[in-house]
Structure 1
Amino acid sequence: MWTSLGPGYIFPAASACVSARWRLSGESKVCGICGFFRFDDPPSSLIGDRPVLERMRDTLTHRGPDDAGVWMDQNRRAGFGHRRLSIVDLSPAGRQPMSNEDGSIWITFNGEIYNHRELRGPLEAKGHRYRSSTDTETIVHLYEEVGESLPRHLDGMFAFALYDARREEMLLARDRIGVKPLYYAPVNGGILFASEIKAILAHPAVSVSLDFEAFLHYLTFVSTPAPFTLFSGIRKMRPGTLLRVDRRGSLREEVYWDAIVPGRLESADDEEMRGEILRLLEDAIRKRMMSDVPFGVYLSGGIDSSANVALMSRLMDRPVTTFSVGFEGQPAYNELEEARRVAGLFGCDHHEVVLTPQDLQETIPSLIHHQDEPLADWVCVPLYHLARHTRGSGTLVVQVGEGSDEQFFGYPGYLSVYGLESSLGRPLRALPRPVRRALCGAGSGLARILARGGDRLELLRCAAEDRVFFWGGAIAFKGEEKLRILSEEARHRCNGFDSYHVVAEIWDRISREKPESDFGERMVYLELKQRLAELLLMRVDKMTMAAGVEARVPFLDYRLVEYTMRIPTARKIRGGVPKYLLKKALAGVLPEEVLTRKKQGFGAPVSEWFAGELYRYAEDAILTSTIRELNLLDYEVVSQMLKEHREGERDRAFLLWNLFNLSRWYDYWVAGRRAV
């Protein structure tokens, strides 16, 4: 059910939006890209076939419904496909793929570069001739000047492929934080790439099978950590990396940016930090308002989305358009009242959508198609519907609040883990290893005392084994529970493998490169590198682009991230208050009632639906899936989990949603494709 409450709908205590002038600049195109780079000589018709390239490109039509382009060089060494969603400068001047003046450099680009105007002037002064006002063309000319250091100079969200005909090599790049995805697949005689996996699967050189290691990771992290995907042979670019591919078939990955920032703001006072946070956030929102099409904000009524609305309203001379979602008959999951209140405070043009269990059931096939590989986060459901209704209203660009909770310690679970580490973990880790293992090992007196202690017992085990206690904010199956869900054959294949090395690799990096960082800073770094990039931002990109809507993420402006990564955790949560520092920064922007409102979180009533109206639907999807042919899971254990959830013995919804998405993914993408 879709409701428009109308422009300037007035709620209690409403006020007019603040007028301001702001300037559009350049061109923004959020798009779908794909292509190939061929190693073999003479040319292989399988890799460098134009109709195949066009077929790959057109699987991405939803990402770019406004225009399509394709380019291949004369010897079919490289070829690019492009689908265009035009946001700024809607003229044909920005058609892609695009080249430099002599056609020796070609690019296909997805995203927007906020500083391209600043970059363009010096490039023109050096003699580069522009044929358009696009940020895409600036990237091409900048590459001619700075070469492979190109991504370091760009401020924006992006994924691109660039071909240098003179050097016969290709560069692939993903933006610093990972707002835009990019995948690649080495194949016989070359390499394929695309914004989405489905475009790679459209190439006949690619076969489909499940990657067993990625499957094990998915069970734990509810998404696959880069560079893995659930498709064997298809890889995902890590955020902040550049991949150089030469004609010999050599692939070289370079990290051009990381969130490990030298120094800590030990001496800065709160006033100074509050001012800088607000300045950086205001600038991030301003930069992301470039658009020649209608834009708005996804509004929950919480601090992050409300800050987007409040700060955007200062920069506009018309009402901010806002969108909220709720669930029929589920007041515990509805934030509609709070969103209406904030929309009224700032005189917004507010819209709502209300979902039912039937909406979930009818949506699943589309979710599975657009996700490519499962993202077992039920926020995908309301986000997908919100994006569809956003597009239906005529709005093509939205700002979202992802990234704030991670940087400013907004999750209650963060505080719990941080407090437990401070009170128990740190003293234990200070002990000599033999003493620690004797004290914390299984069967010890302390372990018996804390046998029912949940997280405390888990912390003891980690301390005894020299392991990291915090794995991330969205962990499903791990440890004994993960082994229990696997079939005997799968347990034998994994040989004790438990995905811990994904966490350890990231944790060890910041511990080694910034030893002065505290436990909370390392938690945030882990979340930025793993859960935020490969789950939260993936869901935002895939669900909004499924409807042809562009999402922008001001809280993840890299300059704001670099600043917050220098702030000690205790300064962010003074007095045990989540987001203490952010709330202080926004004290003159948002009313006290918004700043002090208890965090609810963006979710969906899947637990209730899976125990009620949709139980049979979930049971059938999981227990009759064709993935059973792989003998990966113990279905007696799975059946017991379903029974426990239905009868209210234990809430198994999060784990069942993981298995549900995996099952539907396999049926659609593996068994379904094989049957075609």
Structure 2
Amino acid sequence: MCGIAGAAGKDSEKSVRKMLEVIRHRGPDGSGIFSQSGISIGNVLLKITGEKTQPISNCGALTYNGEIYNFREIAKALDLKTDSDSETLFEMIKSGGIETAVGELDGDYAFAYIENGKISLVRDPAGVKPLYYSTGNGFAFASEKKALYTIGESKSEIKTLKPGHMLTFCAGNIIEKKVSGFPSGEILAKDAQDLLFEAIERSVKKRQFVPCAIAFSGGLDSSLLAALCRDAKLYSAGMAGSHDIGQTEKAAMLLELSDNLHLHELTMDELESAIPAVIRAIESCDPMKVSIALPLFFASKDAHRDGFRVMLSGQGADELFAGYKRYESMKPSELGIALKKDLDNIAENNLERDDAVTMANSVELRVPYLDRNVIELALRIAPELKIHNGIRKYILRLAAGKILPDELVWKEKKAAQYSSGIYSAMEKIARKNGYRGERALGRYLGELKQQD
């Protein structure tokens, strides 16, 4: 896991150095730059898998952010002896080309490959790993928008590479096309819960790391992850006395994992001091986004303090299995369309925020529910099994019932921004700082962003 950046044109190496400095929090373990034919690419490294430094070069060059979970099988097929997923990806591209390589990958990634004056950018099909680019002052790309701002790019000039897409830049021309996605199949109405449990179990096993942490709220999604990864430490943060504090303690007790729980009861002063850092990390002053990001910011900060580099999250389960209240009133046909749309937008709505706030603390976030096989299976499950008799995430609850106590399986959980008590606490902080009336919180956060 790391941060990547690159630029084409005059002073490209200087631009890349400036961008890497801005995103150094994503990779405190090292950095590197490679230049060729007026193009420079670079990397800041958070060492998790293998010892290979980046960028990797041999005629072409690669800089890569992510995790490829089947790289050992691919390396074996290539007769390649390595402990590095980045080296495996490089050899795949050299062997069969980018699109062929992407077709074989099982993982979450964003990478750039340069050869013969051409830059190719690629992003995983769910958009778990972020990638942005700009054509304002030449061509440049980076893992975070703020890196592009530092070389003079304006907000209007920065674009997001779409999930599952490849962008090619050569001689001033850009071509973008879709190279990966999630194929549909026959709709499942039988055996779905067994297949789903097995798929999630495999996904968690792939993403387990020693040592591993879990962003734990005590709800269904994170409780299932905890039950499948019982050696992980559970990190939770909320305002003192909030619903989440009691829920996480009770859930950990029911799972017999109380000794693994690290609970952070936030004070108003702690919250107020962290808000500017979160706004800076997620590059947004939207009250809802900030309130959702704050518990994860503290959880990942605490995990980093305790020596963890990998954290699992339940992100994606609501979009795949109909967890939001707004889904309840939909007919099955409407629900299927709405879920697919929300999956298509999950990177922009949620994943980029979560990646930014955890990587601000040099912690890699892994999302087992957005595993390729889990997504493809979820898309095949009939909508009637996702909301059944008014029960949201019905099929996921049935699957989780294999290892979770009933109290956790069937309990409804409030939205994180409210159950953590953070949204209302931020409103109080805004009032304390003299902000009153309509959109007071938004105006307060906006002022903080301008001061940054």
Compute the displacement of 1:321 (Å). Answer: 1.4
- Alpha-carbon distance between aligned partners in 1 of 2:421 and 2:305, rounded to the nearest angstrom: 25
2:33 maps to which residue?
70
Is the 1:35–1:192 contact (alpha carbons within 8 Å) kept by the matching residues of 2? yes
Structure 1's unaligned 5+ residue stretches are 1-29, 39-43, 209-230, 314-318, 423-516, 620-638, 643-655, 669-676
Is the 2:252–2:258 contact (alpha carbons within 8 Å) kept by the matching residues of 1? no
Q: What pairs up with 1:81-96 in 2 under 5 angstroms?
A: 81-89=42-50, 91=51, 94-96=52-54
1:33 maps to which residue?
4
1:609 maps to which residue?
425
Q: 2:218 aligns with which of 291, 296, 301?
A: 301
Compute the displacement of 1:374 (Å). Answer: 4.2
Q: 1:252 aligns with which of 165, 168, 175?
A: 175
Q: What percentage of residue pairs aligned between the two structures are identical?
A: 30
2:265 maps to which residue?
354
Counterpart residue identity of residue 379, structure 2: M
- The answer on 1:665 being equivalent to 2:452 is no
Larger Rg: 1
- Alpha-carbon distance between aligned partners in 2 of 1:606 and 1:392, rounded to the nearest angstrom: 22
- Alpha-carbon distance between aligned partners in 2 of 1:400 and 1:342, rounded to the nearest angstrom: 19
Is the 1:391–1:547 contact (alpha carbons within 8 Å) kept by the matching residues of 2? yes
Deviations 1:588-644, CA, capped at 9 Å, x for gaps = 21011111212223224345335535314272xxxxxxxxxxxxxxxxxxx6415xx
- Alpha-carbon distance between aligned partners in 2 of 1:567 and 1:663, rounded to the nearest angstrom: 45
Compute the displacement of 1:334 (Å). Answer: 5.0
Q: Return the structure number with greater relative CO, CA threshold 8 A, min gap 6.
A: 1
Q: 2:184 aligns with which of 258, 262, 275?
A: 262
Greater percentage in strand: 2
Compute the displacement of 1:331 (Å). Answer: 4.2
Q: 2:305 aligns with which of 392, 413, 420?
A: 392
Is the 1:325–1:336 contact (alpha carbons within 8 Å) kept by the matching residues of 2? no
Compute the displacement of 1:262 (Å). Answer: 3.0
1:370 maps to which residue?
281
TM-score (norm 1): 0.63
Q: 1:311 aligns with which of 228, 231, 235?
A: 228
What SS is found at the alignment partner of 1:232? helix
Deviations 1:317-337, CA, capped at 9 Å, x for gaps = xx3311122212434775333
Q: What pairs up with 1:67-216 in 2 under 5 angstroms?
A: 67-73=30-36, 75=37, 77-89=38-50, 91=51, 94-99=52-57, 103-124=58-79, 132-149=82-99, 150-165=101-116, 168-188=117-137, 190-203=138-151, 206-208=152-154
- Alpha-carbon distance between aligned partners in 1 of 2:434 and 2:49, rounded to the nearest angstrom: 43
Counterpart residue identity of residue 641, structure 1: E
2:240 maps to which residue?
328
- Alpha-carbon distance between aligned partners in 2 of 1:147 and 1:354, rounded to the nearest angstrom: 50
Structure 2's unaligned 5+ residue stretches are none
Counterpart residue identity of residue 307, structure 1: L
TM-score (norm 2): 0.93
- Alpha-carbon distance between aligned partners in 2 of 1:608 and 1:339, rounded to the nearest angstrom: 24
Number of matched residues? Answer: 447
- Alpha-carbon distance between aligned partners in 2 of 1:302 and 1:658, rounded to the nearest angstrom: 28
Compute the displacement of 1:566 (Å). Answer: 1.6
What SS is found at the alignment partner of 2:97? helix
Compute the displacement of 1:657 (Å). Answer: 4.6
Is the 2:49–2:83 contact (alpha carbons within 8 Å) kept by the matching residues of 1? no
Compute the displacement of 1:202 (Å). Answer: 2.1
Is the 1:609–1:615 contact (alpha carbons within 8 Å) kept by the matching residues of 2? no
Counterpart residue identity of residue 95, structure 2: E
Q: What pairs up with 1:203-242 in 2 under 5 angstroms?
A: 203=151, 206-208=152-154, 231-242=155-166
- Alpha-carbon distance between aligned partners in 2 of 1:312 and 1:348, rounded to the nearest angstrom: 14
- Alpha-carbon distance between aligned partners in 1 of 2:257 and 2:428, rounded to the nearest angstrom: 39
What SS is found at the alignment partner of 1:600? coil
Relative to structure 1, is the Cα distance of residues 523 and 325 closer, same or farther in structure 2, using a 3 angstrom cutoff?
same
Pairwise CA RMSD: 2.2
Compute the displacement of 1:412 (Å). Answer: 2.3
Deviations 1:142-180, CA, capped at 9 Å, x for gaps = 112332313222111111110013xx2111011111111
- Alpha-carbon distance between aligned partners in 2 of 1:618 and 1:559, rounded to the nearest angstrom: 50
- Alpha-carbon distance between aligned partners in 2 of 1:106 and 1:611, rounded to the nearest angstrom: 49
Is the 1:300–1:338 contact (alpha carbons within 8 Å) kept by the matching residues of 2? no
1:598 maps to which residue?
412
